[in-house]
Amino acid sequence: MKTMTIRKIPDEVARFLATKAAGEGCSINAATVSVLSEAAGFATPAPRRRDLSWLAGTWSAKDERDFNAAVSKCRRIDAEEWK
């Protein structure tokens, strides 16, 4: 296998590769090789997910507390509105 250095990668491309790596649980290098292989026609692209599974397990306890505090008013049921 060959080792290469790529210079002047645009910020948006770097962000895409970092996001892809995080979403797939792999290194940025592995994500870059995957993208290059797909673009060159040597790999079959992974099927697109149509769910939110990539978000599973990403919240901290503080994130959960903040979210629950933010939506607490939405959870109250106004009995008068449902008569």
Instruction: Examine residue 1 and state whether it is found in any structural domain, yes or no.
Output: no
Residue 41 lies in a domain: yes
5 inside domain: no
Is residue 44 very low, low, confident or very high in pLDDT (cuts 50, 70, 90)?
A: confident
Please choose, from the candidates 31, 28, 27, 23, the residue with its C-alpha nearest in 3D space to the C-alpha of residue 54: 23
Whether 3 maps to a domain, the answer reads no
- Give domain status of residue 6, yes or no: no
Asked whether residue 45 is assigned to any structural domain, the reply reads yes
In a domain, 2, yes or no: no
* Mean predicted confidence (pLDDT) in 39-50: 82
Residues spanned by the domain of 28? 11-82
Report the share of the chain in percent with pLDDT over 90.
63
Residue 58, pLDDT score: 84
DSSP sequence for 60-79: -HHHHHHHHHHHGGGG---G
Q: What's the total number of domains in the chain?
A: 1
Q: What is the mean pLDDT of the chain?
A: 90
Q: pTM value?
A: 0.53
Distances (CA, A) of 45 to 9, 31, 34, 48: 22, 12, 8, 9
Classify residue 72 as left (phi > 0), alpha (psi -120 to 50) or beta. alpha
